[in-house]
Each structure stands twice: as structure tokens, then as C-alpha cells.
């Protein structure tokens, strides 16, 4: 009898604790801020250039204009090599969000050759300005891929966002594309999309965009739902698992395969199984158009995902993501994640895979300061530049200083080997920046004290 009473009391305590946690964390877990009413202009806007599955010959252009799906929309493409112009009809979709409606249009361009192209988009006679994009010549003297990589942005101030993106663009004028690891916007509302696009100053229309979904692009709830606009803003290759089409995918380049995962879609056991099976096949190039084999491919495998397998944020572990993907990711070369709002990297026994956590946000959280992390950074915005060649890959991470200048903060060199690639960290790097994030100033709770103690110990060890 006593054991039964004790069991009932224990269960009641657990239940009461669970209810208390839910009450305290209700807004963080389930509440969504209201989306203000908005009206979409009839002129084409929010123009985005993305890749098809083969980066060497495919591009997709998307835009929105009004909400009339019967409007005639098209794209005029001029090949600047020979001066010929083609007019291509657009595919249109009607999208309704919580507080507005829009017609989204897209045109898939295929069979492109190396060189420059100029295009304009048009809806019901209203034209955009003209934009130029380039298809790289992979047989030329610059036989490599270079791109910029961003962690969480989540800016709420347009001037601040614009300044950051200008700084990043100045660090790599040769960037072939931009890639994002999720949380591009603060919340899935039109006002934050209209903050992001102006901050890019037209670059989304001339530089291909590769984007992963983050939790801030999802509407919260018992079962989360991604922003209805997402798959029409970023029209990605449809080569992922059926239930994750356009959100989990890969893009092939001559020397790398860029794999993008939607980790917020992992909401039940079946999702985990499906994603793990697909990722295993894609990393090994099983059942793909490139190579029919079950052996590890010879391209560099770079995986982008929002939630890290090895979290560097205090109290921000992702056990279900780690359980589903940690073993499979051993076949990758570089795994880059976000979510923790600080910078961290560690190598796997000195060889691939290397794991990096990147934050490009003005908002910072407390890092764990764990010994597993070889390099840390907090309370600053970071971005990375990657240069990929056949046998080497170079990753250089920048910190943006108070004068909006890019300062080299970390470096990794990957050198191809027989089984793995050697990963060599840079030397002569600046001291780690482990400032207390501004949001925690004046606090002395247990987490802040733990961070300060670990930070001080880490700094002493570095001397």
C-alpha cells in the first residue's frame, strides 16, 4: 500500500512539474505573435535566384506580384554571349498567410552555358528592373567554388541588417552564391520578410541563394508548420524525401555536394527514420543520377542544418537531432549549424567531419565553453567564406567589429586523403572573444555564473 501511495505521489509531482513548465514556457513553445495585415504591390518584388539540382546549368527565378493568379507573368532572358533573348512563361501559385495573400511566380532555367545572362520579370505588363547573373566556367582558370555562409540573422533593425550584409559582401566579391543555415527572419510575418529583402540590396536577384529552414521560419504549436511563403520564396531542388520536398535537398557542384536539411521537420519517429535513410544515400551517392554506388563519393560533402548535433549553447542541446543524424554525419566532411547564437567549431580527431556553429545575429546566447570546442566566440556577429577545390577546401570565418569591418576570426584547411580529409586549424588567430552577451548583463543567476567560471578557466588555459 505504501509503495502504491509513493508511486501515485511521484506521478502527481511529475505531472505538476510538467504542467508548471508548460505554463512558464507557453509563449516560448506555442505562442505566435500576430501578423499585421499587409497588401502585396502589383509590381514584381522579392525576386530570388536559386539553383536547380545541377549548379552548372540550372537556375530558378521566383518573385511575387499582387494576388491575381490569372495575371500573365513571364521572364525575358538575354544571353549576353550571343545577344539572343527568350521569353519564358512563369508558373504561378496563390499563397495565403495568416494576414495576407499573394501570387508567387517562378521560372525554371535549364541548359544554361557558362557566361553572363540578363533578365527581367513581368506580371500584367509591370516589369522589374534588369538583373545580371553568371554561370561559372568550371573549365576556366578559376576552377573552384567560393561562397558566403551565414548563421541565424533574425535582424529586427533594417539599418543594422543592411550594414551587416554590406560588410559580408565586401569580404568576397567573387562569391558564387550565399547560403543560410536557417532563421533568416525573426518571425514568419511579412514585415520581417520586407526587412530581409531591402537589407540584401538586390543581391537575392543576382546571386543564387541556398537556404535552410530554421525554427523562426516555423509557426509554433503542438505540431509546427513552416511559413506558407517559404517554398515559393526559395524554390529549391525537389530531390529530397517526399515529405520534405523543397526543404531538404542537395545541389551538386563539380567538387562538392551541398546538402541542406530541415531539422525542424523532425517531429516524430517516422520523420527521423526517413531523413536518416535519405541522408545516408545522398552522402554515399546511392541511387542518384551522378553515380550508382554504395561507396563514399569523391566530392566534398558539406551539410547545412539549423540545429547542431553537438550544441555549443548552454541549455540548447538537441537530443532527437543528435540521435537521428550523428552516426550518419560521420560520412560528411563539414557540418555547419546555427541556432545557438554563438560561434563554435571542433574537429573529429583531427580529420573530417569538422563541425561548426555559426551565428550572424545581433542577438547572442551563453556558450557552454566545453573542452570539446576548439574555438569559441560570443556576443558578435560572424559569417564564413568557403573556397572549394578538387583536393582542398578552405573555410575562413570573419567577425564583424564595431566599425562594421570584417576581421578574420578562424580558419580551417581541409586536405583530401584516401579515407578522410585532414582538417588543419589556422594559426596566428586573434584571442577568443567570449564576452558576456548584452542580454545577460546585470544578471547573476546560475547559468551566468557557470558561464563566467568556465570562460575564466578557458582564458587561463589559453595563456
- Domain annotation covers residue 458: no
Cell numbers found for residue 20: 508548471
DSSP state of 152: B
In terms of domains, do 370 and 229 share one? yes
Q: For residue range 332-379, what is the model confidence (pLDDT) as tens digits?
A: 999 999 999 999 999 878 889 999 999 999 999 999 999 889 999 999
Distance CA 220, CA 263 (A): 14
In terms of domains, do 131 and 249 share one? no
Q: Are 405 and 383 in contact (CB under 8 A)?
A: no
Question: Burial level of 344, CB count in 10 A (0-12/13-18/19+)?
Answer: buried
The domain boundary, picked from 108, 135, 162, lies at 135
- Domain annotation covers residue 28: no
Q: For residue range 49-100, what is the model confidence (pLDDT) as tens digits?
A: 999 988 889 999 999 999 999 999 999 999 999 999 999 999 999 999 999 9
Q: For residue range 255-297, what is the model confidence (pLDDT) as tens digits?
A: 899 999 999 999 999 999 999 999 999 998 754 444 444 445 5
In terms of domains, do 295 and 319 share one? yes
Cell numbers found for residue 177: 552564391
pLDDT recorded at residue 21: 44
pLDDT recorded at residue 3: 64
In terms of domains, do 366 and 240 share one? yes
The domain boundary, picked from 88, 104, 135, lies at 135
Please give the backbone phi and psi of residue 39, each rounded to the nearest 5 degrees, phi first: -125, 130
- Domain annotation covers residue 441: yes
pLDDT confidence bin for 142, thresholds 50/70/90: low
The number of distinct structural domains making up the chain is 2
In terms of domains, do 356 and 311 share one? yes
- Domain annotation covers residue 170: yes
Q: Are 312 and 371 in contact (CB under 8 A)?
A: no
Distance CA 141, CA 280 (A): 34
- Domain annotation covers residue 91: yes
In terms of domains, do 242 and 287 share one? yes
Q: Are 423 and 412 in contact (CB under 8 A)?
A: yes
In terms of domains, do 213 and 131 share one? no
- Domain annotation covers residue 83: yes
Q: For residue range 193-218, what is the model confidence (pLDDT) as tens digits?
A: 999 999 999 999 999 999 999 999 99
DSSP state of 90: P
In terms of domains, do 375 and 438 share one? yes
- What value does the mean pLDDT take over residues 157-176? 95
Domain carrying residue 116: 45-135
In terms of domains, do 304 and 407 share one? yes
Please give the backbone phi and psi of residue 91, each rounded to the nearest 5 degrees, phi first: -95, 135
pTM: 0.92
In terms of domains, do 80 and 202 share one? no
Residue 196 DSSP SS3: helix
- Domain annotation covers residue 19: no
- Domain annotation covers residue 26: no
- Max alpha carbon distance in the chain (Å)? 90
In terms of domains, do 308 and 255 share one? yes
- Count the Cβ atoms, other than its own, within 10 Å of residue 212: 29
pLDDT recorded at residue 300: 94
In terms of domains, do 212 and 301 share one? yes
CATH number of the domain that residue 296 is part of:
3.60.21.10
The domain boundary, picked from 135, 155, 170, lies at 135
pLDDT recorded at residue 290: 43
Amino acid at each position: 500500500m505504501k509503495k502504491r501511495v509513493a508511486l501515485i505521489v511521484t506521478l502527481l509531482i511529475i505531472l505538476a512539474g510538467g504542467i508548471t513548465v508548460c505554463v512558464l514556457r507557453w509563449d516560448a513553445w506555442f505562442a505566435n505573435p500576430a501578423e499585421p495585415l499587409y497588401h502585396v504591390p502589383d509590381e514584381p518584388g522579392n525576386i530570388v535566384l536559386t539553383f536547380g539540382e545541377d549548379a552548372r546549368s540550372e537556375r530558378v527565378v521566383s518573385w511575387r506580384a499582387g494576388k491575381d493568379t490569372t495575371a500573365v507573368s513571364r521572364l525575358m532572358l538575354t544571353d549576353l554571349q550571343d545577344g539572343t533573348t527568350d521569353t519564358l512563361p512563369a508558373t504561378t501559385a496563390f499563397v495565403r498567410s495568416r494576414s495576407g495573400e499573394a501570387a508567387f511566380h517562378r521560372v525554371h532555367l535549364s541548359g544554361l552555358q557558362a557566361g553572363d545572362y540578363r533578365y527581367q520579370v513581368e506580371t500584367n505588363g509591370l516589369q522589374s528592373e534588369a538583373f545580371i547573373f553568371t554561370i561559372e566556367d568550371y573549365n576556366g582558370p578559376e576552377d573552384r567554388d567560393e561562397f558566403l555562409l551565414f548563421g541565424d540573422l533574425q535582424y529586427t533593425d533594417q539599418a543594422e541588417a543592411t550594414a551587416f550584409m554590406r560588410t559580408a559582401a565586401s569580404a568576397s566579391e567573387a562569391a558564387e552564391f550565399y547560403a543560410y543555415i536557417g532563421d533568416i527572419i525573426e518571425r514568419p510575418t511579412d514585415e520581417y520578410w520586407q526587412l530581409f529583402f531591402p537589407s540584401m540590396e538586390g543581391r537575392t536577384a543576382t546571386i543564387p541563394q541556398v537556404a535552410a529552414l530554421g525554427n523562426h521560419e516555423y509557426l509554433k504549436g503542438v505540431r509546427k508548420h513552416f511559413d506558407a511563403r517559404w517554398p515559393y520564396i526559395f524554390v529549391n531542388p525537389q530531390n529530397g524525401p517526399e515529405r520534405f520536398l523543397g526543404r531538404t535537398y542537395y545541389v551538386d557542384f563539380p567538387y562538392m555536394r551541398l546538402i541542406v536539411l530541415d531539422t525542424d521537420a523532425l517531429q516524430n519517429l517516422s520523420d527521423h527514420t526517413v531523413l536518416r535513410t535519405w541522408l545516408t544515400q545522398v552522402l554515399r551517392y546511392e541511387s542518384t543520377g551522378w553515380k550508382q554506388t554504395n561507396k563514399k563519393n569523391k566530392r566534398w560533402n558539406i551539410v547545412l542544418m539549423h540545429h547542431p548535433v553537438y550544441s555549443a549553447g548552454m541549455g540548447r542541446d538537441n537530443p532527437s537531432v543528435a540521435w537521428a543524424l550523428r552516426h550518419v554525419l560521420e560520412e560528411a566532411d563539414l557540418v555547419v549549424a546555427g541556432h545557438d547564437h554563438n560561434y563554435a567549431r571542433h574537429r573529429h580527431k583531427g580529420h573530417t567531419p569538422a563541425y561548426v556553429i555559426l551565428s550572424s545575429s545581433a542577438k547572442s546566447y551563453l556558450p557552454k565553453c566545453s573542452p570539446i570546442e576548439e574555438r569559441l566566440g560570443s556576443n558578435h556577429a560572424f559569417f564564413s567564406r568557403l573556397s572549394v577545390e578538387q583536393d582542398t577546401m578552405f573555410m575562413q570565418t570573419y567577425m564583424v567589429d564595431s566599425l562594421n569591418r570584417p576581421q578574420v576570426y578562424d580558419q580551417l584547411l581541409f586536405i583530401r586523403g584516401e579515407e578522410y580529409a585532414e582538417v588543419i586549424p589556422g594559426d596566428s588567430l586573434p584571442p577568443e572573444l567570449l564576452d558576456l552577451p548584452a542580454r545577460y548583463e546585470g544578471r547573476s543567476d546560475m547559468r551566468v555564473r557557470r558561464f563566467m567560471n568556465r570562460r575564466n578557466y578557458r582564458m587561463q588555459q589559453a595563456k
